[in-house]
């Protein structure tokens, strides 16, 4: 059998020829073949007995799936603003130079390609890069030299120095979750002692709200799922931590996985769900083996599987799904589509996932941190949990602190902590702005540092990026706009075009062609994004620009070339081809911007 | 009593076919009314070579070469109200259909590789304006105040539009006159 | 039990489960749309049907009507946003109406006429999208695609053929056909498929029938789409 056929059959067999596992099968096939060639896509369609158009549609959606040949070494530099601040663009150029390569192009020998990728969740130990999907942290000139050497000598990535791949937790402040010893199974035993209903009552009392950013009350979700018609309910752990500047879920999955899985089991106890799914972002794939060990250990201890802790009828187990580079899949309905092996396009709501979720079943989608927190509620009781934090935002919050500060890392605080306090604790000085909640969050200026992190004041999925006075707010916003263009799924008109047009204006201003009228156009595009977009990605995409235009307007104004109108491109440069082909150098062959009339 | 002062209007055809200008002439008997109200400055109708201070500038055609840019800038500088007239001025139109090819390929194909071509060579006479890499609608080069769509806009549409403008009303085409084709 | 909501200050009756747009159309009230089709579930991608319901922007095609809802649709604010959405679609593709067989019958163009979109405001993207003329009866001109997915849905859900799909994402999203060669002639697409008759713009065109109805005598040449749509549905 030809190689492609063999690989595709093996991958399909591993997933029982289940078309809902298409994304996992595509990943598995690419792992073997390097990229998904047209014949490979055809073979997958044939083997799974699904239309080829669907396979091509899905393969093209995810940025870590390649339908064109790629290098044997695929190097992707993380392109979050924090990586840029740590010098990533220079390091990228340096590596390109050392390997005689143009960014974004495959080397002629097919050996290596170098490009950028969205935030990899390693902002506290950046700049980071991915090599064939594996994370390299703390990239510096020395590491670039060594990477160039390793690639030139064609050393397999598995044999690269282990310290390249070393990732620290960097926990800088512990509170209720990170600071309390936890015995796996203890929370479950406590909740089971209460019984399913009383356990859900404790959840209500706790007033726990989702930690993924939206802040929806968790117990309401669980109750909705429990009460929804349908037997096969599902608990999904959203481990797609794609929000730029956020990395707390990585640390939880690395060192507190028992909390997370136990939280899923607690959700199952409350709702009656028997299936648990963890959707892990591709960048965190390296965590997979350790997470599997935890699952195995829990199964062996009777904490997962049939008749959990000897209770007949309490059956629950957890499966893993891997993402492949798509931020929008952190949106819960896009995540469900992706779990079903489709393009990650957000669904129309209603119906909500608790009624019709994964494969149409009632589904709870909870963030990693939310699930981990439920263990505390089971152990302390809902009222004790609700006594911490603020009235509207109970409990603690993990903040992912990065940027211009002495001690980047994870900080756990009770909700209500002020921005100033966090800045003080992390050793930030001369701070000009803080981006709270990531690219889709809020940019806070100095006069707002008294405000507090809480759903009712400054909500946050956990990102806390610090910028000192040497940073340019325009460049920060520009970086986030680039991010949203890259990550828009393109489903709806306002987001697909709005992000693209917004990038056009930001690029124009950055190139020095900005004009005052552009600011009015930007406002207009922002309004369309905010009002008309299909999902939260589009509605929040303009936030960085809106905030910087309000709070750091001179950063835009001082870049203006004209107070009226200016074309978006260099008109004279557009004559270059014609000049070259005609060999002309007479005065009329040039457009002098100042000399309007023709001589 | 002296006659009321006439509104000065300039017109130009850039990368277009003069169809919009022909359509302007298609307003038939309204032409008499028009010349009562306006005086033409730079225009193919007057042969005046450079634009003076005007109330209204009408631009037909997109921007395909260096000369188009000079003319367009001159119009923007001298006209209080600049109007993009017709498909080419508004979206590049037919000339912009070359935007899907590289200019290099276009020129070589036409002047070097075309079958039957003798004496092949891309013209380099300084009298010829150099081509831009892409054809642009005029609003990508200068600020434009109004747009009158159509390929060409009908005489009726042009008359309706100009009547509004001359009377100080914001131009608004009735549905029957709104066409992109 | 007669339930109703208010649309631009006038009552509209609805039955349980009807969306705002469905109820409005049934009551003879037009809300602009491009990706919505009466025979298919709501899609919600074009966003032309945005309205303000109780002060919040929502898609009228997707949101079920509720008793007492206050819906604003035909207002300068909402129509201004709709016009901007059309402008976005016009700069995204290559919509050169004078050369398009669909001109006069095109819903994108008709919406632009009715919403008085005289220019596209933004800079054009001029994407390069080669046409596919391989099929004996059908021409695909991707330059005009607005990603309503009506052909995708019709082929998948009615024709049962899955001829069309979207691939890639964001601004790079584009239509592909169900063949390794990428050519329509290598699929089992047929001129009498529903998908061959559902494109609201000029992507899927039938060969040898071009310009049979002259420009100037077409669906939207004299009557706005809001009227044509209501006549069709009554």
- What is the distance between the alpha carbons of residues A558 and A548, in angstroms, rounded to a whole number? 13
| Residues A348 and A369 placed together within one structural domain of the fold | yes
Q: Residue A594 above 60 pLDDT?
A: no
pLDDT at residue B16 in the model: 95
Q: Which member of B96, B134, B178 has the closest CB to residue C113?
A: B178
Same domain, A211 and A331: yes
pLDDT digits (tens, 9 = 90+) for B11-52: 999 999 999 999 999 999 999 999 999 999 999 999 899 999
What pLDDT is attached to residue B116?
80
What is the average per-residue pLDDT within A184-195?
98
Q: Is residue B140 situated within a structural domain?
A: yes
Do the domain assignments include residue B104?
no
Is B154 inside any structural domain? yes
Domain-ending residue, one of A142, A168, A194: A168
pLDDT beneath 50: ranges in chain C? none
| Domain membership flag for residue B125 | no
Is B120 within the bounds of a domain? no
Query: How many domains, chain B?
Result: 1
Higher-confidence residue: A367 or B114?
A: A367
For residue B100, pLDDT beyond 90:
yes
Residue A554 sits in a domain whose CATH number is 1.20.1440.230
Assigned domain for B33 exists: yes
CA distance C75 to B16: 37
- pLDDT 10s digits, B136-170: 999 999 999 999 999 999 999 999 999 999 999 99
Judge if A482 and A522 occupy the same domain: yes
pLDDT score at C2:
73
ipTM above 0.90, yes or no: yes
Report whether A115 contacts A103 (CB < 8 A): yes
Do both A178 and A305 map to the same domain? yes
Query: Cβ(A266)–Cβ(A375) under 8 Å?
Result: yes
What pLDDT, in 10s, does the model give residues B41-87? 999 999 899 999 999 999 999 999 999 999 999 999 999 999 999 99
Convert C22-53 to b/e letters by CB count within 10 Å (16 or more is b).
bbbbeeebbbbbbbbbeeeebbbbbbbbbbbb
- At CB < 8 Å, which residues of chain B contact C? 84, 87, 90-94, 96-97, 99-100, 134, 136-137, 139-140, 144, 146-149, 151, 172-173, 175-176, 178-181
Chains interfacing with A (3 or more CB pairs < 8 Å): B, C
A489-505 pLDDT, tens digit each:
999 999 999 999 999 99
- Cα separation, C232 vs A13, whole angstroms: 51
* Domain-embedded: residue A286: yes
Task: Yes or no: say if B77 and B42 are a contact pair by the CB < 8 Å rule.
Answer: no
The pLDDT > 70 percentage for chain B reads 98
Query: Both A21 and A77 in a single domain?
Result: no
End-to-end CA distance of chain B: give it in Å, rounded: 46
User: Considering the domain boundaries, does residue A196 fall inside one?
Assistant: yes
For chain A, say whether C116 makes contact (Cβ under 8 Å). no
Residues A133 and A246 reside in one and the same domain: no
CB contact under 8 A, C222 and B176: yes
Distance CA C10, CA C23 (A): 13
Q: Is residue A569 part of a domain?
A: no
- How confident is the model at residue A12, as a pLDDT? 98
Take residue A264 and report the two structure tokens written for it.
């899923």
Give mean pLDDT, residues A72-97: 97
3-state SS string for chain C: CCEEEEECCEEEEECCCCEHHHHHHHCCCCCCCCCCCCCCCCCCCCCCCEEEECCEEEECCCCECCCCCEEECCCHHHHHHHHHHHHHHHHHCCCCHHHCCCCCCCHHHHHHHHCCCCCCCCCCCCCCCCCECCCCCEEECHHHCCCCCHHHHHHHHHHCCCCEEEECCHHHCEEEECCCCCCHHHCCCCCCCHHHHCCCCCCEEECCCCCCCCCCCCCCCCCCHHHHHHHHHC
- The answer as to whether A42 is a domain residue is yes
Contacts of C215 in chain B (CB under 8 A): 181
Q: Identify whether B14 is part of a domain.
A: yes
Residue A156 and residue A180 in one domain: no
Q: How confident is the model at residue B2, as a pLDDT?
A: 62
Please give the average per-residue pLDDT across A237-241, as a whole number: 97
In a domain, A290, yes or no: yes
Indicate if A237 and A314 belong to the same structural domain.
Answer: yes
Residue B118 forms part of a structural domain: no
Q: Which of A583, A585, A598, A599 to mutate to test the interface with B (most CBs of B within 10 A)?
A: A598
pLDDT bin (cut points 50, 70, 90) of residue A2 is: low
Over residues A547-566, the pLDDT tens digits come to: 999 999 999 999 999 999 99
User: What percentage of chain A has pLDDT greater than the value 90?
Assistant: 97
Residues A119 and A184 in one domain: no
pLDDT band for position A39 (50/70/90)? Answer: very high
- Please, what are the domains in chain C? 3-74 (3.10.20.740), 83-226 (3.30.70.20)
Looking at A16, A36, A59, the residue that finishes a domain is A59
Q: For residue A277, tell me if it sits in a domain.
A: yes
The answer to whether A88 touches A115, Cβ cutoff 8 Å, is: no
Mean pLDDT of A106-118: 94
Contacts of B69 in chain A (CB under 8 A): 571, 591
A451 by Cβ neighbours in 10 Å (0-12 / 13-18 / 19+) ranks as middle
- Indicate which CATH number applies to the domain containing A190: 3.40.50.11540
- Characterize B70-79 residue by residue with b for buried, 16 or more Cβ atoms within 10 angstroms of its Cβ, and e for exposed: bbbbbbbebb
Do A157 and A198 fall into the same domain? no
Contact B46, B75 (CB under 8 A): no
Which residues have C-beta within 8 Å of that of residue A286, sequence separation ≥ 6? Answer: A134, A135, A165, A167
pLDDT, tens digit, 9 for 90 and up, residues A419-428: 999 999 999 9
Query: How far does A596 lie from chain B, in Å, by closest CA?
Result: 6
Do C98 and B99 count as a contact with CB atoms less than 8 A apart? no
Do the Cβ atoms of B107 and A591 come within 8 Å?
no
What average pLDDT does range A197-219 have in this prediction? 96
With a cut of 60, say whether residue B130 has pLDDT above it.
yes
pLDDT at A598 over 50: no
Residue A593 has pLDDT above 60, yes or no: no
Mean model confidence pLDDT for chain A: 96
Predicted pLDDT at A269? 98
Alpha carbons A375 and A187: distance in angstroms, whole number: 5
- Asked if C217 is an interface residue toward chain B (Cβ–Cβ < 8 A), one would say no
Alpha helices, H only, B79-118? 87-91, 103-108
- CATH code at position B148: 3.40.50.700
**Claim to verify: residue A41 and residue A110 sit in the same structural domain:** no
Task: Give domain status of residue A554, yes or no.
Answer: yes
pLDDT of B3 reads 65
pLDDT in tens, A292-325: 999 999 999 999 999 999 999 999 999 999 999 9
What's the average model confidence in pLDDT over B119-140? 94
> pLDDT tens digits for A380-423?
999 999 999 999 999 999 999 999 999 999 999 999 999 999 99
Domain that holds residue A44: 3-59
Share of residues in chain B with pLDDT > 90 (%): 90
Number of domains in chain A: 4
CATH of the domain at A134: 3.40.30.10
In this prediction, residue A595 carries a pLDDT of 42
pLDDT at res. B1: 52
Q: Does A448 fall in a domain? A: no
Kindly state whether A2 is in contact with chain B, defined as any CB-CB distance less than 8 angstroms.
no
A503/chain B closest Cα distance in angstroms: 16
Whether residue A134 is found in the same domain as residue A222: no
Give the pLDDT score at A208.
98
- Interface contact C85-A528, CB threshold 8 A: yes
């Amino acid at each position: 059998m030809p190689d492609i056929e063999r690989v595709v059959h093996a991958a399909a067999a591993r997933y029982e020829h289940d078309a809902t596992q298409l994304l996992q099968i595509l990943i598995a096939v690419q792992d073997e073949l390097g990229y998904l060639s047209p014949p490979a896509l055809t073979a997958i369609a044939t083997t799974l007995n699904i239309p080829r158009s669907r396979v091509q549609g899905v393969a093209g959606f995810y940025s870590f799936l390649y339908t064109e040949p790629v290098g044997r070494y695929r190097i992707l530099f993380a392109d979050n603003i924090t990586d840029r601040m740590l010098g990533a663009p220079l390091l990228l150029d340096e590596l390109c130079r050392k390997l005689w390569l143009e960014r974004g192009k495959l080397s002629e020998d097919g050996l290596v390609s170098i490009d950028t990728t969205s935030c990899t969740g390693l902002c506290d130990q950046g700049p980071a890069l991915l090599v064939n999907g594996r994370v390299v942290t703390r990239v510096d000139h020395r590491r670039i030299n060594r990477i160039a050497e390793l690639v030139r000598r064609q050393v397999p990535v598995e044999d690269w120095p282990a310290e390249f791949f070393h990732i620290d937790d960097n926990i800088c402040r512990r509170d209720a979750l990170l600071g309390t010893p936890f015995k796996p199974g203890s929370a479950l035993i406590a909740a089971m002692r209460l019984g399913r209903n009383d356990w859900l009552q404790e959840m209500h009392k706790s007033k726990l709200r989702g930690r993924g950013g939206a802040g929806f009350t968790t117990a309401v979700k669980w109750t909705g799922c429990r009460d929804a018609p349908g037997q096969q309910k599902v608990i999904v752990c959203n481990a797609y931590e794609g929000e730029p500047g956020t990395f707390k879920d990585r640390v939880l999955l690395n060192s507190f996985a028992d909390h997370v899985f136990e939280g899923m089991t607690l959700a199952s106890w409350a709702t009656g769900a028997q299936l648990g799914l963890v959707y892990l972002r591709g960048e965190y794939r390296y965590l997979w083996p350790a997470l599997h060990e935890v699952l195995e250990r829990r199964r062996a201890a009777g904490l997962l599987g049939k008749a959990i802790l000897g209770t007949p009828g309490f059956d629950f187990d957890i499966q893993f799904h891997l993402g492949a580079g798509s931020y929008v899949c952190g949106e819960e309905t896009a995540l469900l589509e992706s779990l079903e092996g489709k393009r990650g396009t957000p669904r129309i709501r209603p119906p909500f996932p608790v009624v019709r979720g994964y494969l149409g079943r009632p589904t709870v989608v909870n963030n990693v941190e939310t699930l981990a927190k439920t263990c505390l509620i089971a152990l302390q009781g809902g009222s004790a949990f609700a006594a911490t934090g603020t009235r509207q935002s109970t409990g603690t919050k993990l903040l992912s602190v990065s940027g211009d500060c002495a001690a980047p890392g994870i900080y756990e605080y009770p909700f209500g902590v002020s921005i100033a306090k966090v800045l003080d604790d992390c050793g930030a000085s001369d701070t000009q702005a803080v981006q709270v909640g990531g690219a889709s969050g809020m940019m806070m200026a100095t006069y707002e540092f008294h405000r507090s992190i809480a759903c009712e004041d400054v909500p946050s999925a956990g990102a806390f990026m610090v910028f000192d006075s040497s940073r340019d707010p325009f460049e920060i916003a520009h970086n986030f706009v680039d991010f949203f263009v890259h990550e828009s799924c393109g489903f709806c008109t306002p987001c697909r075009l709005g992000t693209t047009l917004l990038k056009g204006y930001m690029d124009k201003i950055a190139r020095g062609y900005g004009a005052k009228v552009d600011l009015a156009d930007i406002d207009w595009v922002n309004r369309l994004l905010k009002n008309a977009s299909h999902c939260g990605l589009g509605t929040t995409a303009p936030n960085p620009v809106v905030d910087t235009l309000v709070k750091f307007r001179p950063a835009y104004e001082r870049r203006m070339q004209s107070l009226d109108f200016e074309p978006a491109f260099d008109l004279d440069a557009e004559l270059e081809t014609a000049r070259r082909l005609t060999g002309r150098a007479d005065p009329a062959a040039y457009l002098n911007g100042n000399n309007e009339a023709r001589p | 009593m002296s006659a009321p002062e006439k509104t000065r209007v300039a017109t130009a055809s850039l990368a277009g076919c003069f169809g919009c200008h022909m359509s302007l002439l298609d307003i038939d008997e309204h032409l008499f009314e028009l010349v009562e109200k306006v005086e033409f400055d730079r225009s193919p109708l007057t042969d005046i070579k450079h634009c003076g201070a005007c109330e209204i500038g009408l631009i037909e055609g997109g921007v395909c070469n260096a000369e188009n840019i000079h003319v367009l800038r001159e119009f923007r500088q001298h006209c209080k109200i600049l109007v993009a007239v017709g498909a080419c001025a508004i979206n590049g139109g037919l000339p912009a259909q070359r935007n899907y090819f590289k200019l290099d390929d276009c020129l070589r194909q036409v002047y070097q590789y075309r079958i039957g071509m003798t004496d092949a060579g891309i013209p380099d006479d300084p009298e010829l304006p150099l081509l831009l890499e892409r054809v642009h609608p005029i609003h990508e080069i200068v600020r434009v105040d109004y747009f009158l769509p159509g390929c060409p806009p009908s005489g009726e549409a042009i008359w309706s539009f100009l009547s509004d403008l001359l009377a100080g009303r914001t131009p608004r085409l009735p549905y029957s006159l709104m066409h992109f084709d | 039990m007669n339930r109703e909501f208010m649309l631009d200050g006038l009552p509209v009756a609805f039955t349980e489960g009807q969306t705002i747009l469905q109820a409005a159309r049934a009551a003879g009230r037009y809300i602009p749309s491009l990706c919505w089709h009466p025979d298919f579930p709501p899609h919600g991608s074009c966003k032309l049907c945005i309205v303000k319901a109780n002060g919040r922007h929502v898609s009228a095609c997707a949101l079920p009507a509720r008793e007492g809802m206050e819906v604003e649709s035909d207002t300068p604010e909402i129509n201004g946003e709709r016009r901007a959405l059309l402008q976005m679609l016009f700069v995204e593709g290559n919509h050169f109406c004078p050369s398009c067989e669909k001109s006069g019958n095109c819903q994108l163009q008709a919406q632009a006429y009715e919403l008085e979109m005289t220019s596209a405001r933004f800079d054009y993207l001029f994407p390069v999208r080669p046409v596919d003329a391989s099929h004996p009866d059908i021409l695909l001109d991707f330059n005009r695609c607005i990603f309503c997915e009506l052909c995708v849905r019709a082929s998948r859900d009615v024709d049962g053929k899955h001829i069309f799909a979207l691939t890639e994402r964001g601004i790079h999203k584009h239509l592909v056909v169900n063949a390794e060669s990428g050519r329509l002639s290598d699929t089992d697409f047929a001129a009498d498929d529903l998908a061959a008759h559902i494109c609201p713009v000029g992507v899927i065109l039938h060969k040898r029938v071009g310009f049979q109805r002259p420009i100037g005598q077409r669906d939207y040449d004299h009557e706005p789409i809001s009227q044509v749509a209501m006549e069709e549905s009554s």
